[in-house]
Amino acid sequence: MNQSPTGPADLDLSGIRGWLFDLDGVLTPTALVHMHAWSRLFTPILAEHKKAPYTDADYFAYIDGKPRYDGVRSLLESRDIHLPEGDVSDGPDEDTVHGLGNRKNEAFNATLAEEGVAAYPASIAFLDAVQAAGCLVAVVSSSKNAPGVLEAAGIADRFTVVVDGVVAAREGIPGKPAPDTYERGAALLGLPTTACAVVEDAESGVQAGAAGDFGLVVGVDRGVGRDALLKHGADVVVDELDELIPAVRRAAETSRALETSAETPKETA
């Protein structure tokens, strides 16, 4: 993995041909919708069990970036609450791990339908830059709502490869913090992992990138904190993805110059 000598704009991205993006919190601000939905779910549950109140810190520590039911398990374990696993078909009114996960999903989808979502402008500018540079792109998300979010944000046509919670469940792929979903994304792009960059805002997602043999792991600080993202394996941390655009353009210019040089016939004496 590469390390930034002074900042994001100075990265050497010459070997990166694919960009693997997390969705919530990286391309779209749906992480906020998720945070509100989780809070609405767990605030009354923790009060009922007479446990410490739910906070945003719980979201970042136990839920962020993980598959939905894993997030439920992790938060319940943090409060020493034990509920039956249940089944994915459990209704949202059932007090099982799967029932709570489905209850949270109902709240998320209702909020998304009511409020909609718009992609981060800086992330769209970066996406424009990497695609203009000829790089391939994919979305790798733990959420089973990824296609709907991409449609709502108007960027679904940008991604022919989407590895989400539905794909992971269907193919039996371990979720983040394991690197497998990102590795699957790279494979579907037809690229080795070493030629791909992982872009994440969650601790578990950064850990997933660090656990795989990827060319670069970019952390986007949406609240986790720069130090935490670096600690969990990010090579570079940005506040907004457009900070990387100069490095992307420089790599593209270098690549074009090398191609032109290779195509130019050498003069013979």
Catalytic residue annotation: 22, 24
Rounded CA-CA distance 162/207 in Å is 20
| 24: DSSP letter | B
CA proximity to 158, closest of 182, 124, 197, 117: 124
Q: What burial class does residue 80 get, using C-beta atoms within 10 Å of its C-beta: 0-12 exposed, 13-18 middle, 19+ buried? A: exposed
Rounded CA-CA distance 38/55 in Å is 10
Q: 17 with 191: CB under 8 angstroms?
A: yes
Give the distance from CA 72 to its chain's centroid: 19
- What Rg value do the Cα atoms of the chain yield, rounded? 20
Rounded CA-CA distance 42/47 in Å is 8
Tokens (6 digits) for 245: 């655009």
Residues sharing a CB contact under 8 Å with residue 101, sequence separation 6 or more, in sequence order: 68, 69, 71, 72
Place of tokens 């016939």: 265
